[in-house]
Structure 1
Amino acid sequence: MTSTTETRPSPVQRLRGLSVEAMGFALIGASGVVVNFGLFWILNNVVGLASLRSNIAATVVAIATNYLGYRYWLYRDRDAASRKREITLFLLFSGIGMLIETGTLGFTQYVLGLDTSLERLGGKFLGLAIATVFRFVSYRTWVFKAMPELEDPEVVQEAELLLAAEERPALAN
């Protein structure tokens, strides 16, 4: 029996990994914000669509673009075994985020009376900030779950041997 040292990441390493993840989330989110705010402004100020409808349409488009970034770039190494579950949870939490964002915009516009074009953008920004925190926590916790770590080194070694054995016939062809 071989003795091994535990390979769990230290708290500093975990914090560093979380900060890298948060930066990736922010980068993808920033591209979604550009899509969201740009489309919102066009629909609301150029097309003349009501602000809450403009917000919902713009947010739906941003959700779709963000999903592609999260799944195929930021969380590409996460468990994708159940894509149907992942998409369902992503849409559920994104929908809740959209309700947070739209509710905040509606509150600032209809309750507080902030109804100029710039004030609507401010209300949308506030709602988006609150919804972003909610989305980050829910996506990383429930949607894009990390692959389970194998803690037994003997199991890891056995799995690597099995994978290597499966690859050999494929290489011979």
Structure 2
Amino acid sequence: MLFLGLLNLRMRNAISGAWREVAKFGTVGALAFVLDNGGYTLLVFGLPGAGGGPMRATAVQASVLATLAATLFSWVANRYWTYRQRHRKNAVRELLCFTCVNVVGIAITAGAVFVSRQLLGLDSALSDNTARIVGWAVATLLRFFSYRRYVFVAV
């Protein structure tokens, strides 16, 4: 009976810990999403009524800059909050692993848009956004499990 009680407590603690980790990971991801899309919008379109942002003529560069800022934020927030007990001593190696996982995630999302447009022949805003959401969901699962397994490991 004592064994079952200890097993039940251990399972409850493991599930509770996993949900906390998922919640933190999700919070960081949501904030990075806002930083990326909000930063891009401000850089290209500016504040409402401002007549455009400082990078309105260079939208691709603005997208890269906003994504880089969001990625750096995501790494710092995940390293020092979500996985604060598990980060590597070598921060440069950890950042390189983090970047590799995120490049794969970007390719998955872009790949979903490619499939939608090139293979299925869909080109509406709805189909693009649906493809991006599907790709984003798959990439987010990859990121979550890769961060736990390869990026934020105490070494």
Fold shared by both chains (TM-score > 0.5): yes
| 1:29 match | 29
| 1:64 match | 72
Deviation per residue, 1:118-166 (Å, 9 max, x gap)? 322221111111000000000011111157xxxxxxxxxxxxxxxxxxx
| 2:115 match | 107
Instruction: Name the larger-Rg structure.
Output: 1
Q: What letter is aligned with 2:26?
A: A
Q: What letter is aligned with 2:16?
A: R
2:84 to 76, 87, 98: 76
- 1:114 deviates by 2.5
Identity among equivalent positions (%) equals 30
| 1:10 match | 10
Q: Distance in 2 between matches of 1:114 and 1:31?
A: 30
Q: What letter is aligned with 1:91?
A: T
Q: Which runs of 5+ in 2 are unaligned?
A: 1-8, 46-51
Change (3 A) 1:42 1:128: farther
| 2:142 match | 134
Q: What letter is aligned with 2:14?
A: R
The TM-score, its normalising length taken from structure 1, stands at 0.64
The TM-score, its normalising length taken from structure 2, stands at 0.71
- 1:92 deviates by 0.9
- 1:12 deviates by 2.0
Indicate the larger mover: 98-107 or 36-45: 36-45
Q: What letter is aligned with 2:15?
A: L
Root-mean-square deviation (CA, aligned residues, Å) is 3.1
